[in-house]
Structure 1
Amino acid sequence: FFSPVKMSETTAAAAVLTVPALIYFLWPGPPAILLLSLTNAVLAVYMLLWRRTPPPPYPTFPPAKPQANVLARGLKDSELPKEADCIVIGAGPSGLALAVMLGRRGKRVLVLEQHNRAGGGLHTFEEKGFEFDTGFHYCGELRPGKELRAIVDNLCDGEVEFAYLEECPVEPGVYDKVVFSQASSESAAASDADCSPVSTSGDAVLVPAGPEQWWKQLHADFPGEQAALAAYQHDLVTAAKAFMPYLIWRSMPWGVLKRLLYYILAKPMVKLSLVTATERLKSITDNHRLKAALSYLSLGCAGMTPDNIQYGLVPALHNHFMQGAAYPHGGPSQIAAAMVRQIERQGGRVFVRAPVARIVTELDHPGATPRVVGVQLGRGKEATVRAPWVVSTAGIHHTFGKLLDPVTVPAQPRLQALAETLPRTHGHVFLFVGLEGDAKSLDLPRRNLWVLPHDDLDKAMAEFHKAPTEAPFGYVGIAFPSAKDPTFAERHPGKSTAALIAGDVPWSVFAEWEHTKVHHRGTEYEDLKALFQERMLAELFRHYPQVKDKVVHVSSGTPLDTNFYLGKTQGESYGLQLSPAKTQAELQWLGPVPNVEGFPKGLVLAGQDLGSDGFAPAVTSAMMAAVPIEGFLHWLSVVDMLGGWRSFAKALCTEPPAVGLQTAA
């Protein structure tokens, strides 16, 4: 539409929207209103053309045989295409979501996964007749009518149903429970001075679903902290309104326009994220228990303590779970399977056991910026698939350090050095327990249990890091996936499962076995693993004594398994540390296309390191990564995902739930 003036899509759209808005701001009146109306009409026509444009000719993929388990389609030479419109490295939720989005625009997408199952954190596995999930413990904003639910239904073609943790017959209305094993001297002093005992279940904090219920619970637990809660409510509203504009701003190309729109789209969220949770919470309250109650999600959902995490994520997480938490019927792999079926219907492919050894680049002429032309496979395949776009969801440390060749990408050493300025999160020890008896007979809840040593979260983590084999874990998360999934009893009658996560485990604890093979790591490793396993079982039995005599199977995993199954480099379960330093990097260079001279054209980043850990951030990172490929107006596809313009307008005009919290109190 704008080709006669050689104007890029992003520049054109920005001009259509920005110029009349500035005129109206400087010179309000009928002429400016007329100009706004005309330019909006032009934008509508352009958008209509963009959405109706037939797809260009795309590569034809070789036919593939029908596969009963679409998550396990192994790579075969006869089914491997020679070229694709886009190659996605990694079949986690961000890679799969991106492939679906690009397939909607007529692109043939090839997704390559090094593991033997697609899904990443959505992966489930069976062992000794028990089914376990690995990373999807719950997700917010999936009630019917919520924006994320509409997007997920669109990506999965409406094939996945969800159950809700708060609709639990054992403990209704609650999706999280936080237990403090020890009372710190600081919190005890604060309690004696001006605080009533917390919640209704001993030394614990219950986290109910629903904004009014949660807010009333906080006021009941902390009656002397009305001013602090009012300040936090203000931050909740700010984060709710600023989160999506910040993501849109981050997806924009680097340049003058992005700098101009910083003050409108990015600054409110950046202001919250350039300070730590400790710095902000300390400014509104001295109550250690309240600070722990507000920031506990930073541990299990981000692998960060309050001293280190960017504060903006703390209210963002509470906004995400404010209406409650959901779990998919049939387990989280159903989400991955539904997206893979979509990709295959669109003509794309998802192959497992297909590790990428190198991203292939070429130079148009000496001294030019490298241009991506495809990928080279590893593990003996050594085939090359050509594509003008390659998206890596493997994390910046792996992508810059292992997938880019410094010979063909001169900027590789600088990119790797930049990656090293952003530390990785620590890892975890995972425990999977098979139980005899169903959820009803064992009286198992749907909600998660977070066990913390005491309410000084940073001190507790420091104590664990100092003596990881002796001191209490920084936190332990305990959940029963079989209780969350209403279909589990039908598929596995008379059985239940427990899943535990303990952290954060420094890489140094397991680093000496980095280059050993799975199941061949030696006696010392197995002894250390058994020690952690026994400690975690003790936590399970302490809080759920009814399962002690029902255990029939136990297995565990360490940060080394995270490396093996998820392609990590130091067992980092949650990717990059979400600190203010990462926010600074997002302002300066870290984005879908990093602002680094010599970064290969056609290479795009997505996944954890682009956003944060979790299913919802994976989807939004895919939306950001689609922009360099499809153009800035790719964000208009959200209109279709939400169900049309009426639903989109409703989403824009609806106030976030946090707005009415003070009234509820």
Structure 2
Amino acid sequence: MLSELHPPSLGAGTRQPEADRRPHAVVIGSGFGGLAAAIRLGARGYRVTVLESLDQPGGRARVFRQDGFTFDAGPTIVTAPHLFEELWALCGRRMEDDVRLTALDPFYRLIFADGSSLDCCGDETKMRARIAAFAPGDSAGYEAFMRDAEAIYGVGFEQLADVPFGTLVDMLKALPAMARLRADRSVYGLAARHVRDERLRTALSFHPLFIGGNPFATTAIYALVIHLERKFGVHFAQGGTGALVAGLVKLLEGQGATLRYGAEVAEITVAHGAATGVRLADGQAIAADVVVSNADAAYTYGTLLKAQPRQRWSDAKLKRARYSMSVVVWYFGTRRRYDSVPHHSILFGPRYRGLVDDIFERKVLSQDFSLYLHRPTATDPTLAPEGCDAFYALVPVPNLQSGTDWATEVEPFRARIQQRLEATLLPGLGDSLVSSRLMTPPDFRDELLSVHGAAFGLEPRLLQSAWFRPHNRSEEVDRLYLVGAGTHPGAGLPGVLSSAAILDTVVPHATRLV
């Protein structure tokens, strides 16, 4: 084994027992994709080391704690809980013993610029009635859209999400189904085909923004998200999304894995065309039989493999690639509660397509914006001091290719978010603030190592999806594998968990390497 020929130097107190002769897997990054990959590798006989550059696990799903408030830094919406339950089952445990999920109703409240609103839920009877009242005349079109979304889900998620698109043959096999589902059409185009009310078109097509996609350019395959929500519901982990991260770390510790924080990987080492381990920023070398990167895919190829000749993901290709939007997230706490505000709210601005074009095409920071407001204390009051509320407001913005000077723009932008919230959902917000924190596109670049500060990696367009996306088994280097938002099937918790499940197909069982 490579790990026997070049034993890793893990430092005092962290060296694995000499008797442990299992093949060694190194996982770069402890986001949900990396944690899930590590658990699956451990269950398949590998000795696993997870390397995280931050001081805590979770990656984008890390946790901020300040002033008595607990803020989930990233993902807040949990769909497809069975993908998490599979990980607990692999360890002979039950998820409910460590993490409690609460189903939300409504999933979220959509609030439009004209003041109208729509509460979305999984109850089909309720939704039919709400659509009939919200957009009279579009009921039949809504039902047709949902039938299409269900059919797309049956192929796009159930059949293709955990299939590795490692060869062009894989793509060719999927083409008939993708053509039948009109994958060339955008999510918005699918909605516009069925309904006339522009607000309803927005309500049925905004979901790609959850995964960094342009609703007017993202393939209609991603309409499966709305059926995924209906089928499995929208859930919240009591204690916050960080409770899921802590639960996965507990599983890894139970498997005997090693987790190292403050361990920034500078390079994936390669010999004779195969990954042999990693070199840390402090110069330390760690040997491995397989390497799994949960880092941003463009960062993996452009930085961690910078010294290696690359054919498909060359520097020129990475420069030409299209990257997702970024986001500004304002985390804040109030000394009062806003009990009329649901767990999830989405406030749409006066423009939809124009704003999306500003973000993805023109790459300019607009004065107007749409935002997602997360109020976790609606479901779990323990995330704030008694009588207080915790929030985060997430606003899609262009990535750093816009050239925006965030050092000067961030506070005026935050002030506009506060003004908008005060005028709509949170009256008296300014007088109630007791805690505040911001995350901006440069933070995604500098702390999460995302190229161009893109919050979701490569943009999920048709020609950057499936076979066209960086493969789960690297095309450039043997024994290197990719998981997370930047590889197939894409961003979002179901996507990154599915990318880890693909490893069961493409990574050899540990017994084959002994």
Q: TM-score with structure 1 length normalisation?
A: 0.68
The 1:248–1:327 alpha-carbon spacing in structure 2 relative to 1, beyond 3 Å, is closer
Instruction: Report whether the alignment pairs 1:246 with 2:157.
Output: no
| C-alpha displacement of 1:319 | 2.3
Which SS does the other structure have where 1:340 is aligned?
helix
The 1:254–1:304 alpha-carbon spacing in structure 2 relative to 1, beyond 3 Å, is closer
For residues 142-153 of structure 1, the aligned pairs below 5 Å read: 142=81, 147-148=82-83, 150-151=85-86, 153=88
From 207, 218, 235, the counterpart of 2:120:
207
Contact 2:145 2:190 survives alignment (8 Å): no
| C-alpha displacement of 1:398 | 0.3
Instruction: Report whether the alignment pairs 1:216 with 2:129.
Output: yes
Q: Which residue number corresponds to residue 23 of structure 1?
A: none
Mapped partners of 2:363, 2:316: distance in 1? 31
CA RMSD of aligned residues (A): 3.2
Mapped partners of 2:255, 2:231: distance in 1? 35
From 194, 201, 206, the counterpart of 1:291:
201
Which SS does the other structure have where 1:305 is aligned?
coil
Instruction: Report whether the alignment pairs 1:160 with 2:61.
Output: no
Contact 1:88 1:391 survives alignment (8 Å): yes
CA-to-aligned-CA distance 1:429-486 (integer Å, 9 cap, x gap): 111112113x4xx3253431111123x521233357879666211x111121222325
The 1:148–1:271 alpha-carbon spacing in structure 2 relative to 1, beyond 3 Å, is same
The 1:436–1:109 alpha-carbon spacing in structure 2 relative to 1, beyond 3 Å, is same
Q: Which residue number corresponds to residue 255 of structure 2?
A: 346
Q: Which residue number corresponds to residue 118 of structure 1?
A: 57
Instruction: Report whether the alignment pairs 1:383 with 2:287.
Output: no
The 1:352–1:533 alpha-carbon spacing in structure 2 relative to 1, beyond 3 Å, is same
What residue identity is the alignment partner of 1:504?
A: V
Q: Which residue number corresponds to residue 606 of structure 1?
A: 483
Q: Which residue number corresponds to residue 501 of structure 2?
A: 623
The 1:529–1:164 alpha-carbon spacing in structure 2 relative to 1, beyond 3 Å, is same
Instruction: Report whether the alignment pairs 1:593 with 2:505.
Output: no
Structure label with greater radius of gyration: 1
Contact 2:108 2:342 survives alignment (8 Å): no
Contact 2:30 2:59 survives alignment (8 Å): yes
Which SS does the other structure have where 1:528 is aligned?
helix
From 437, 442, 453, the counterpart of 2:349:
453
Q: Which residue number corresponds to residue 262 of structure 1?
A: 174
From 579, 590, 609, the counterpart of 2:461:
579
The 1:269–1:350 alpha-carbon spacing in structure 2 relative to 1, beyond 3 Å, is farther
Contact 1:279 1:307 survives alignment (8 Å): yes
What residue identity is the alignment partner of 1:415?
A: S
The 1:323–1:343 alpha-carbon spacing in structure 2 relative to 1, beyond 3 Å, is closer
| C-alpha displacement of 1:281 | 2.9
CA-to-aligned-CA distance 1:576-615 (integer Å, 9 cap, x gap): 11111213xx235642124x4xx21101111001122222
Mapped partners of 1:153, 1:212: distance in 2? 34
What residue identity is the alignment partner of 2:89?
A: N
Q: Which residue number corresponds to residue 419 of structure 2?
A: 538
| C-alpha displacement of 1:552 | 1.3
Q: Which residue number corresponds to residue 397 of structure 1?
A: 298
Structure 2: stretches of 5+ with no match in the other structure: 510-514
For residues 634-649 of structure 1, the aligned pairs below 5 Å read: none
Instruction: Report whether the alignment pairs 1:179 with 2:59.
Output: no
| Bigger relative CO (Cα 8 Å, ≥ 6 apart) | 2
The 1:464–1:241 alpha-carbon spacing in structure 2 relative to 1, beyond 3 Å, is closer
Contact 2:363 2:399 survives alignment (8 Å): no
Which SS does the other structure have where 1:228 is aligned?
helix
Mapped partners of 2:302, 2:452: distance in 1? 13
- Tell me how many residue pairs correspond in the alignment: 498
The 1:244–1:552 alpha-carbon spacing in structure 2 relative to 1, beyond 3 Å, is same
Which SS does the other structure have where 2:127 is aligned?
helix
Contact 1:58 1:108 survives alignment (8 Å): no
Mapped partners of 1:589, 1:503: distance in 2? 23
Contact 1:276 1:579 survives alignment (8 Å): no
From 252, 274, 290, the counterpart of 1:371:
274
Q: Which residue number corresponds to residue 520 of structure 1?
A: none
Mapped partners of 2:407, 2:320: distance in 1? 33
Contact 2:291 2:481 survives alignment (8 Å): yes
Contact 2:207 2:225 survives alignment (8 Å): no
Q: Which residue number corresponds to residue 433 of structure 1?
A: 332
What residue identity is the alignment partner of 1:450?
A: I
Contact 2:150 2:227 survives alignment (8 Å): no
Mapped partners of 1:563, 1:308: distance in 2? 24
CA-to-aligned-CA distance 1:67-117 (integer Å, 9 cap, x gap): xxxxxxxx8554155996211111000100111111112211111111111
CA-to-aligned-CA distance 1:252-310 (integer Å, 9 cap, x gap): 65376x467536xx7248844332123333333443222111012222x1233321211
Contact 2:152 2:181 survives alignment (8 Å): no
* Identical aligned residues as a percent: 22
Which SS does the other structure have where 1:617 is aligned?
helix
Mapped partners of 1:494, 1:375: distance in 2? 48
Structure 1: stretches of 5+ with no match in the other structure: 1-55, 63-74, 167-173, 183-201, 364-369, 513-524, 632-665
Q: Which residue number corresponds to residue 512 of structure 2?
A: none
Mapped partners of 2:449, 2:88: distance in 1? 28
| C-alpha displacement of 1:208 | 2.5
| C-alpha displacement of 1:321 | 4.7
Q: Which residue number corresponds to residue 559 of structure 1?
A: 441
What residue identity is the alignment partner of 1:150?
A: E
